[in-house]
């Protein structure tokens, strides 16, 4: 089973600009991010209530969807199966501790971030710095892959790496029920 959320569109602080990472952090819509995280958490709870094990739930997305998936995964109270974000960066990284459960259930959850070196919307350095911040925060299993020649999009190499991540993270089991938000 796949759940694919479509939250309402919100202004993005870095669209069509080349802001530096710290500037983009200061200009984030914190309340909007938290509302969207709550929406994602509602979707996760619905899947769990429907009988999906949290360890079989993978959050993921591209750009804003990836950023929200990474933030939700880091701050979720359930131990999830995995999280991925493509062409994204870590939201509210300067305040992450304020929103992370004390027991940090997703500390060892696998995270995969992929980013094009030629991304003109979310610069590659934002993704790389985000991974550094995630590791410094204590995340134990985060991988980052750069894609030469790739802009703010996905390509077959990135999708192949994502598929390998998903197969490793949530291998088939009994009933094969898997939920991923893309």
Instruction: Give me 156's structure tokens.
Output: 């077959």
Q: Which of 24, 87, 119, 124 is catalytic?
A: 119
Assess contact for 169 and 58: CB atoms under 8 A: yes
Per-residue pLDDT of the chain (182 residues), as tens digits, is 445 554 444 444 444 334 454 555 566 899 999 999 999 999 999 999 999 999 999 999 999 999 999 999 999 999 999 999 999 999 999 999 999 999 999 999 999 999 999 999 999 999 999 999 999 999 999 999 999 999 999 999 999 999 999 999 998 876 555 555 54
CATH number of the domain located at residue range(s) 33-46+56-169 in this protein: 3.40.50.1820
Per the residue annotation, which of 152, 153, 157, 161 is the catalytic one? Answer: 152
Beta strand pairing call for 82-86 and 57-62 = parallel
CB of 84 within 8 A of CB of 58?
yes
Closest CA to 15 of 67, 70, 83, 84: 67
- Which token pair is 91? 């939201």
152 noted as active-site residue: yes
Other C-beta atoms closer than 10 Å to the C-beta of 9 total: 7
Catalytic (active site) residue 63? yes
Answer yes or no: 4 catalytic: no
């Amino acid at each position: 089973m796949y759940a694919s959320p479509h939250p309402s569109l919100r202004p993005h602080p870095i669209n069509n600009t080349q802001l530096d990472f710290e500037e983009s952090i200061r200009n984030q819509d914190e309340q909007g991010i938290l509302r969207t995280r709550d929406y994602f958490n509602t979707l996760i709870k619905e899947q769990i209530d429907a009988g999906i094990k949290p360890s079989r739930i993978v959050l993921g997305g591209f750009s804003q969807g990836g950023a929200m998936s990474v933030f939700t995964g880091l701050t979720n109270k359930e131990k999830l199966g995995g999280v991925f974000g493509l062409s994204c960066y870590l939201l509210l990284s300067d305040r992450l501790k304020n929103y992370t459960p004390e027991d940090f259930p997703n500390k060892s959850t696998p995270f995969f971030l992929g980013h094009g070196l030629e991304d003109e919307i979310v610069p590659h350095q934002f993704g790389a710095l985000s991974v550094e911040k995630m590791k410094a925060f204590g995340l134990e299993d985060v991988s980052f892959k750069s894609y030469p020649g790739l802009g703010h999009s996905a390509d077959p190499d990135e999708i192949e790496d994502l598929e390998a991540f998903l197969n490793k993270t949530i291998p088939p089991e009994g009933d094969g029920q898997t939920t991923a938000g893309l």
